[in-house]
Structure 1
Amino acid sequence: MAAPHIPTPSDLPQSDPPALVEAKAELRRHLRALRAAAPAPGAAAALCRRMGEHVRAVLPPGACVAAVWPLPGEVDLRGLCAGLHEDGYGVLLPETPPRGQPLRFHRWCPEAVMHRGRFGTLHPDGPAARPDLVFVPLLGFDRRGFRLGYGGGYYDRTLAGLPGVPAVGFGLSAQEVPAVPVGPYDVPLPLIVTEREVIRV
């Protein structure tokens, strides 16, 4: 599958126009409140199964998959990480650097010591590695492939430095919105996985 154009770091905007900033902030507030409600029973487990099926369909064992360690309220991918590790995949988790820098991915295994990072994140003490596929978390998404993240720009910068590496958004179907507010520098994801389907843009 051909990767979409990912902006280079020099392409990334210094800031969105004020009206767009406010529109995104308002939608973030709405989605955070929505996420506080309990998801449908089994939805998170179904999402992890579908994500694992996608990895096994497109990558051979030995390839490295970047996932995330859950923050409060996020989908818990620890079962997915354990299953991929058991099947011979490299599992990478991000270390969150100071704002303005891309994420750094470290290899995880069940015995890994986890270190505290910025914003309450955790990352393993394993060696740094380059992913062959990146699962991208989101607060919301639409059918065009646009995602609304947390506002730090970490994944924009990270994907800009990983040309050709597939980026796959993941979230629950309840996080879908009619249209994410976007500007000229927002780039859609080619795939978004939910517990119900794989959305191909």
Structure 2
Amino acid sequence: MGDDASLTARKAQLRKECLAARDGVGPLRRAMAGTRLYARLMGLRGRTIAGYLPIGSEANPTHAMRVLARDNRICVPVVTARGAPLRFREWWPDCPLEKGAFGVPVPTEGGWRVPDVLILPMVGFDAGGGRLGYGGGYYDRTLAGMGDALAVGFALEAQRVEAIPQERTDITLPYIITDAGVFGADGTV
């Protein structure tokens, strides 16, 4: 039990550090991150891509989502129940939105979709593909049931830490895109 408590405490401390670092990133680095995201995904055609509508100082994928929507279906996550995997509702530029769970904007119209590519927000990450979220486990539960869908983490380089403590339910990401580059789970750019 002590190990669980220390892991929880370490993750809580990392969240504070990563959120403070993310808050301090200026507009140029943020724009660079969005450009790299689009550059990595611009060749996709006919896919269903789950982006997200950012809250707070999260890295913002919406410009890339707008451009990708020309050739792909775009959807965003919706929390439908506490402890349940996320569901994804279709999104398009300027679609009607309302505040969902945790104050996150969600579409009020559009069908439910199953993405084959997911862009994940992150609080923090490490070079090995470890992802630190907000602590609710929504993306870990969702990814566990997504089969061969490609999960791409999206963050700002300031959010990188040496190592994210891993629990057995944590999912390692194959790619993380930041303002500094595209990193694979093996730590390479």
Q: TM-score, normalised by structure 2?
A: 0.90
- How far did residue 40 of structure 1 move? 3.4
AA at the equivalent of 1:49? T
Aligned counterpart, 1:34: 21
- How far did residue 64 of structure 1 move? 1.0
Answer whether contact 1:96 1:121 (CA < 8 A) is retained: no
Answer whether contact 1:137 1:170 (CA < 8 A) is retained: yes
What runs of 5+ residues in structure 1 fail to find an aligned partner? Answer: 1-15
Structure-to-structure mapping, 1:1-201, within 5 angstroms: 17-37=4-24, 39-57=25-43, 59=44, 61-86=45-70, 88-124=71-107, 125-201=109-185
Distance 2:172 2:94 in 1: 36
Distance 2:130 2:157 in 1: 14
Aligned counterpart, 1:11: none
Distance 2:75 2:35 in 1: 18
Distance 1:184 1:160 in 2: 12
- How far did residue 50 of structure 1 move? 1.3
Q: How many residues align?
A: 182
Answer whether contact 1:36 1:73 (CA < 8 A) is retained: yes
SS in 2 for 1:184: coil
CA RMSD of aligned residues (A): 1.5
